[in-house]
Amino acid sequence: MLQLVNLRYLISSLVLLNSLNLSAAETPQKNWTYDGVVTVIYQHPSESQISSNATLSGDLNLNFLWHKTRFYAHLEAATTPQAGGAAQVLPQTNADSGSAIDDRNQGRIQLSELYFSHKLTPKTQFTAGLLDATAFMDTSVISNDENLQFISAPLVNNPIIDFPDYALGMVLEQKLQPKYFGRLLISSSHGLADNASRNYSQAFELGKDEKGAFINAELSYQPKAQYFTAGVWTHTAPHESLNDPQNNHLINFGGYLNAYKKIERHSLETRLAYANPEVSTGEWFWSLAYEYKRPNWVLGSGYSWTKASDKMSDSRYQKNAQLLEVYVRHQPFKNFFISPSIQWIENPLYDQNVWQLSNPIWSANIRFSYLFE
């Protein structure tokens, strides 16, 4: 799911940098602000059956500050994933692709988020509306933004947390102690892209038989230049057992631990997660990311491992997946970034009834990002 870097950094500053105060709202400035990003990613995989492809996406953030309330809108656009291209066959290699598509899998322009955040007390913030759960929960400093950091989906969001797409929901954030924070998110189990029609009327329909709730709670300890987060979640919509289609009223649930440490120019971050193997194709997930920052360039490297559930009836998919990505981000001009990268993927997840691919697969990529405000 595509996330705008400015939104990511705003959420990180709220959640990870020891303050729930809306300092931007309390500082004299324009009531209306906007920012955005345009991203182009070109991928060239080693597998001859998969075509090289380019994807284009754009995001526009609109903010309106009024007293202690912030109103936010996120407009998003994406091109249609190329049939037989790397982003379409192996979506885990490009987290920026397919984030705004219609029921025909065609790219479109959409309103992805529309919500308000209100400061109830100096230590409490409430948010409600159409929102992206991954912008509030399981957040990360160096592996959460495909526009400037990793493009591999497992190094952007935790792949085994059953997050909905952009969905109606609410978030309560509470500063418990100077370095401790609690967060609770409750949303619909089905977001915009989780419904067959991918339209707003279905996304706003709550209480249908096939729908439920997504509930996520986490606690963070955030001393200077580091953080530790523990979270639990459940997805209550009916799920089908991986080895018994008749058993189709199961729920998904899991937990996760995240840790981050920064030492001068070096940053290190890790994620560990578990999900219900009865319904989740991935049972365990672990990732490790490293970032080295200089004034005009950044080096990033990340590794992820996903243990496949042994409950899957098709043994072809019972293979643990590994992914490695290394990128260098260079800033030749103000607000413009060039990021060549290379990926190595072992046992990638794809439709093996359609494709018979070599293993492992490499991909050479280059990304161009332009930020505006």
| Domains of the chain with CATH codes | 5-372 (2.40.160.10)
Does the pLDDT of residue 22 top 80, yes or no?
Answer: no
Q: How far apart are CA 318 and CA 59, in angstroms?
A: 37
pLDDT-derived band at 29 (thresholds 50, 70, 90) equals low
Does the pLDDT of residue 285 top 90, yes or no?
Answer: yes
pLDDT at residue number 98: 85
Does the pLDDT of residue 372 top 70, yes or no?
Answer: yes
342-358 tens-digit pLDDT = 999 999 888 887 888 88
191-231 tens-digit pLDDT = 999 988 999 988 898 877 789 999 999 999 999 999 999 99
Q: How far apart are CA 117 and CA 174, in angstroms?
A: 13
Q: What is the torsion angle, in degrees rounded to the nearest 10, for the CA atoms of residue 99, residue 101, residue 104 and residue 105?
A: -30
Does the pLDDT of residue 273 top 90, yes or no?
Answer: yes
Task: Provide mean pLDDT across the span 119-138.
Answer: 97
CA distances from 190 to 130, 132, 200, 213 (A): 12, 12, 11, 8
Task: Provide mean pLDDT across the span 122-149.
Answer: 96
Please tell me the pTM assigned to this model: 0.88
pLDDT at residue number 165: 96
Q: What is the CA radius of gyration of the chain?
A: 20
Q: How far apart are CA 28 and CA 73, in angstroms?
A: 21
Q: How far apart are CA 265 and CA 27, in angstroms?
A: 29
Percent of the chain with pLDDT over 90: 80
